[in-house]
Amino acid sequence: MSLKKYMILFANIFVLFSVFSLTGCRPRVTTEPPPVLSPTEPTQTVQFDPGDFQDPAVCGACHTEIYQAWSGSKHASSWVGELFQPDFQDALTETDGAVGALCGECHAPIAFRTGQLPPFDGSEFDEISRRGISCDFCHTVSEVSEKFNTGNVSAPGPVKRGPRGDTVSPVHETKYSQLHTDAEFCGACHNVRHPESGVLIIDTYDDWLVGPYAAEGVTCQDCHMTPGPGVGKNPGRSSIVGNAKEREHIATHYFVGGSSWQFSRMGSDKHARKAEENLRAAARLDLEGKLTADGLDLTVNVTNVGAGHKIPTGVTYIREMWIEVTVMNDKGETVFRSGHMDAQNNVDPNAVFFRRLFRDKEGNPTSKSWFAQEIGFDRRIPPRGTETETYSIHAAGQTFTATVRLLYRSISQAAVDANFPGQEILVPSVEMAKAEIRF
Ligand code: HEC
Ligand code: HEC
Ligand code: HEC
Ligand code: HEC
Ligand code: HEC
Concatenate the DSSP letters of all residues of 390-423 into one string: EEEEE---S-EEEEEEEEEESS-HHHHHHHSTTS
Q: Is the pLDDT of residue 26 over 60?
A: no
- Phi then psi dihedrals of residue 95, to 5 deg: -120, 10
Q: What is the DSSP letter of 370?
A: G
pLDDT at res. 229:
85
Q: Residue 231: which pLDDT band, with cuts at 50, 70 and 90?
A: confident
First CA to last CA across the chain, in angstroms?
A: 64
Distance 248 CA to ligand 2 centre (A): 23
- Distance from C-alpha of 371 to C-alpha of 368, rounded to nearest angstrom: 6
The sign of the torsion formed by the CA atoms of 188, 191, 192, 195 equals: negative
Distance 164 CA to ligand 1 centre (A): 10
- Distance from C-alpha of 202 to C-alpha of 128, rounded to nearest angstrom: 26
Which ligand places an atom closest to the C-alpha of 147? 5
**Domain spans in the chain, listed from the N-terminal domain onward:** 3-189+225-255, 282-438
Which architecture characterizes domain 282-438 according to CATH?
Answer: Sandwich (2.60)
pLDDT at res. 396:
85
Percent above pLDDT 90 for the chain: 87
Contact residues of ligand 5, CB 6 A cut-off: 74, 81, 83-84, 87-88, 91, 99, 102-103, 106-107, 149-150, 189-190, 192, 202, 257, 259, 262, 314-315, 318, 369-370, 410
Distance 418 CA to ligand 2 centre (A): 28
Question: DSSP letters of 113-163?
Answer: HTT---STTSTT--HHHHT-S-HHHHTTEEEES-SSSS-EEE--SSEEEES
Strands (E) located in 124-281: 141-144, 152-154, 159-162, 173-176, 192-193, 200-202
In 3D space, the residue among 17, 42, 87, 117 whose CA is nearest the CA of residue 418 turns out to be 87
Q: Is the pTM of this model over 0.85?
A: yes
C-alpha angle 223-275-273 in degrees, rounded to nearest 5: 120
The 10s digit of each residue's pLDDT in 252-279 is 999 999 999 999 999 999 999 999 999 9
Burial class (CB in 10 A: 0-12, 13-18, 19+), 172: buried
Most informative mutation of 107, 117, 321, 368 for ligand 5 (most atoms within 8 A of CB): 107
In 3D space, the residue among 415, 437, 267 whose CA is nearest the CA of residue 344 turns out to be 415
What number of other Cβ atoms are within 10 A of residue 248's Cβ?
8
The 10s digit of each residue's pLDDT in 378-423 is 999 999 999 999 999 999 888 999 999 999 999 999 999 999 999 9
Distance 91 CA to ligand 1 centre (A): 38
Q: What is the DSSP letter of 369?
A: G
In 3D space, the residue among 246, 402, 427 whose CA is nearest the CA of residue 335 turns out to be 402
In 3D space, the residue among 341, 338, 342 whose CA is nearest the CA of residue 324 turns out to be 338
Contact residues of ligand 2, CB 6 A cut-off: 183, 186-187, 190, 204-205, 208, 213, 218, 220, 222-224, 229, 257-259, 278-279, 281-282, 306-309, 311-315, 319
- Distance from C-alpha of 122 to C-alpha of 114, rounded to nearest angstrom: 13
pLDDT at res. 425:
95
Q: Residue 3: which pLDDT band, with cuts at 50, 70 and 90?
A: very low
Ligand 3 within 6 A of CB of 180: yes
- Distance from C-alpha of 192 to C-alpha of 103, rounded to nearest angstrom: 9
Minimum-distance ligand 1 atom for the alpha carbon of 241: 2
- Distance from C-alpha of 265 to C-alpha of 324, rounded to nearest angstrom: 25
Pairing assessment for the beta strands 159-162 and 173-176 based on DSSP bridges: parallel
Minimum-distance ligand 5 atom for the alpha carbon of 188: 1
Highest mean pLDDT among 25-34, 334-343, 391-400: 334-343
Q: Residue 203: which pLDDT band, with cuts at 50, 70 and 90?
A: very high
Angle, helices 84-95 vs 100-107, to 10°: value is 160
Most informative mutation of 16, 53, 66 for ligand 3 (most atoms within 8 A of CB): 66
Ligand 4 within 6 A of CB of 224: yes
Contact (CB, 8 A) for 388 and 299: yes
Contact (CB, 8 A) for 120 and 100: yes
- Distance from C-alpha of 346 to C-alpha of 351, rounded to nearest angstrom: 11
- Distance from C-alpha of 338 to C-alpha of 404, rounded to nearest angstrom: 10
Q: Residue 299: which pLDDT band, with cuts at 50, 70 and 90?
A: very high
Within 13 Å and on the Cβ side, how many CA atoms surround 283?
Answer: 31
Q: What is the DSSP letter of 301?
A: E
Question: DSSP letters of 321-345?
Answer: EEEEEEEEETTS-EEEEES-B-TTS
Contact (CB, 8 A) for 322 and 353: yes
Residue 101 identity: A
> Average pLDDT for residues 176-190, to the nearest whole number?
98
